[in-house]
């Protein structure tokens, strides 16, 4: 079995091809790089992905977003969004478009921005805890915070909009 998709990562389209090698073993090509992983389904709908030969913690845990618009991927303590290219999305997506959504139901621990703040693409703007894990969420774009709907201590559902960032105009 082989699965091929194109995702947006840091504003660029990236081709991803995943091929089942056997059992829980998968070979994944991301752009020009090839990786091998063991994959296990989690009871909460996520997928644990561990590099072949790794003895440490899993490389990442992935969760599908509402309506399959994007995947939330947690790698080394940071949560990233892999979204379908704009032409393949219906109604927009999360993260790379400046909209930070909760990757899963959880509690907002910290809100690290306010409307009017100029932010970097990889800057942590909110921290969510879920399933005993801390998710540091970034907008994925350079821009200005337009709206903050997250409140520290509140519980949010998967897909809830936490922060909206408007892209910063580029200089001509």
Q: What's the CATH number where 30 sits?
A: 2.40.50.100
Per the domain annotation, does 126 fall within a domain? yes
Query: Are residues 166 and 100 in contact, defined by beta-carbon separation less than 8 angstroms?
Result: no
The confidence score (pLDDT) of residue 66 equals: 43
pLDDT for res 163: 94
CB burial of 15-41 (b: ≥16 within 10 Å; e: otherwise) equals: eeebeeeeeeebebeeeeeeeebbbee
Considering only CA atoms, which of 116, 122, 146 is closest in space to residue 136?
122
What does the pLDDT profile of the chain (172 residues) look like in tens digits?
Answer: 677 777 776 667 777 788 888 888 888 887 788 888 888 777 666 677 778 875 555 556 565 544 345 666 666 667 666 665 553 333 333 445 788 888 778 899 999 999 999 998 888 999 998 877 788 888 888 899 999 999 999 999 888 899 999 987 655 4
Q: What is the number of structural domains in the chain? A: 1
Tokens matching residue 39: 């994959």
Question: DSSP character for 88?
Answer: G
Is 17 within the bounds of a domain?
A: yes
d(CA 104, CA 46) in angstroms, rounded, equals: 10
Residue 105 lies in a domain: yes
In a domain, 172, yes or no: no
Residue-range definition of the domain harbouring residue 53: 2-167
In whole angstroms, what is the distance from residue 83 CA to residue 70 CA? 4
The answer to whether 62 and 72 have CB atoms below 8 angstroms apart is: yes
pLDDT of residue 64: 56
pLDDT value of position 114: 96
Q: How many CB atoms lie within 10 A of CB 109?
A: 15
pTM to 2 decimals? 0.49
What does the block give as tokens for 20? Answer: 């089942």
Q: How many CB atoms lie within 10 A of CB 101?
A: 22
SS3 49: strand
The pLDDT, as a whole number, for residue 168 is 79
Model pLDDT, residue 134: 84
Give Cα separations from 66 to 35, 41, 141, 160 (angstroms).
Answer: 27, 18, 21, 10
Name the nearest CA neighbour of 28 among 54, 11, 50, 45.
50
């Amino acid at each position: 079995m082989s699965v091929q998709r194109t995702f947006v990562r840091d504003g660029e389209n990236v081709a991803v091809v995943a091929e089942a090698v056997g059992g829980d073993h998968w070979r994944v090509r991301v752009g020009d790089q090839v990786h091998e992983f063991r994959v296990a389904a989690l009871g909460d709908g996520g997928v644990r992905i561990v590099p072949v030969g790794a003895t440490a913690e899993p490389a990442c845990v992935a969760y599908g977003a509402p309506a399959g618009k994007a995947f939330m991927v947690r790698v080394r303590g940071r949560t990233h969004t892999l979204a379908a290219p704009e032409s393949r999305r219906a109604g927009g997506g999360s993260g790379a478009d400046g909209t930070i959504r909760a990757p899963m139901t959880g509690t907002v621990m910290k809100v690290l921005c306010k409307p009017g703040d100029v932010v970097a693409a990889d800057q942590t703007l909110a921290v969510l805890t879920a399933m005993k894990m801390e998710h540091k969420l970034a907008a994925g774009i350079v821009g200005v915070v337009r709206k903050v709907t997250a409140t520290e201590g509140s519980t949010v559902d998967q897909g809830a909009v936490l922060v909206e960032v408007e892209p910063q105009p580029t200089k001509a």
